[in-house]
Structure 1
Amino acid sequence: MGYRLSKIYTRTGDTGETGLADGSRVRKDHPRIEAIGDVDELNSMLGVLLAELEDQQTRTPELTAIIDILAPCQHRLFDLGGELAMPGYRALNQQEIERLEQAIDTWNEELGPLKNFILPGGSRAVALAHATRSIARRAERRCQTLNLSEPLEGIGMAYLNRFSDLLFVVARIIGRRQNVPERLWKPIQNVEHNDG
């Protein structure tokens, strides 16, 4: 494959518009660009999470399985960005969703049932997994906003939904493998409810 970018700046976006892969121009705050941007931010945050896990890999080799599941997701998120930039283009397939579901099911068996709400934190890696999950949820919402005005084909929204589910489980499994207790939500005691 040849070079994709010969120049980093083109000056064509200086007036607040950007080009899609089909050559059309849209405003930089168009719902499609918002969705592309959030998927890009998600991919970047996933890169931060992976870097954290890779830094710890020598201390905790059991994190390797988590890295092996998450690393391909960077490529799939890039594919999803391509689908959003090129309406009609399809890169994601159902096998990718099934791969995530299999990991969720396997790790959930190890974790057991969740008995309370949990808070992000406990370790840097757990917190980063939760931060990545929250960006995944936002990317999913942005794609839904786009879907309302320009119906999306393919499985991109389902992929984002499953990926955010995976990240929730990843946060828990990282904590378990690091022997970090989950930070459980503690409700305010003696809260009065106003019924009317």
Structure 2
Amino acid sequence: MGHRLSKIYTRTGDQGTTGLGNQQRVPKDHPRVEAIGAIDELNALLGLLLAHPLPDPLHQALTPVQHQLFDLGGELSIPPAHIIEAGQVQALERQLDSLNEKLPPLKEFILPGGTIAASLCHLARTTCRRAERRLVTLAKEEATNPESLKYLNRLSDLLFVMARELNRTEGAPEIFWEKTKRG
């Protein structure tokens, strides 16, 4: 592989625009750039989560997700590319089903928290939901890959179940939401 970035700064964005992979320039607050940025934030947060000791199955599940999120960012930066495929969504569903079958059914809402790793999973889940919302906004303006939206939706569910699993394996109790009483 050749050198992709010989210089980190280019000064081309100093006027508030950025270049897409197809050479198109768009404002930095364009819905496409907002979606790419939210996916990048999610990927960075997964990197932080992976820096913590995790059970092997969770670590092995999240490492490919980082690569796929990078693919998704690439897909969005080169419209009308379609890189995320139905099989990747189905793989997330299989992981989700496998992890969820070990957990007790939920009868109440739970508060995000527990162990540090579980808390990071919850934070990644909310970041994933933001990325999903940004992609929905973009899809209202431009054609996008429907599999990418499904992928983010399943990933947020997987991160929720991973948080529950991490708390279960570490013996951290789930804290059920209680409606606050008005005084």
| TM, length-normalised to structure 2 | 0.96
Report matched runs for 1:9-24 at 5 Å.
9-24=9-24
Deviation at 1:94, TM superposition (A): 1.4
Give secondary structure in 2 for the equivalent of 1:184. Answer: coil
> 1:40 matched to which residue of 2?
40
Partner of 2:149: 157
C-alpha distance in structure 2 between counterparts of 1:20 and 1:158, whole Å:
23
> 2:111 maps to which residue?
119
Alpha-carbon distance, 1:110 to partner: 0.4
The one of 141, 147, 152 aligned to 2:133? 141
Q: Within 2, Cα distance between the matches of 1:81 and 1:173?
A: 28
* Conserved? CA contact 1:122–1:175, under 8 Å: yes
SS of alignment partner, residue 82 of structure 2: coil
- Counterpart in 2 of 1:172? 164
Query: 5+ unaligned residues in a row in structure 1: which ranges?
Result: 58-62
Q: Please report how far the alpha carbon of residue 90 of structure 1 lies from its aligned counterpart in structure 2 after TM superposition.
A: 2.2
Mind listing any 5+ residue stretches in structure 2 that lack a counterpart? none
Structure 1 window deviating more from structure 2 (70-79 vs 149-158): it is 149-158
Runs of 4+ in 1 over 3 A off after TM superposition: none
User: Which of the two has higher C-alpha Rg?
Assistant: 1
TM-score by length of 1: 0.90
| Letter in structure 2 aligned against 1:152 | T
CA contact (8 A) 1:126 1:172 kept: yes
Q: Identical aligned pairs, as a percentage?
A: 51
How many residues get paired? 183
Aligned partner of residue 155 in structure 1, secondary structure: helix
Match 1:92 to one of 84, 109, 116? 84
CA distance in 2, matches of 1:125, 1:79: 25
Shift of 1:154: 4.5
**1:188: how far off?**
2.0
Q: Which amino acid aligns with 2:99?
A: W
Match of 1:70 among 38, 62, 68: 62
Matching residue's letter, 1:180: A
Partner Cα separation in structure 1 for residue 135 and residue 22 of structure 2: 19
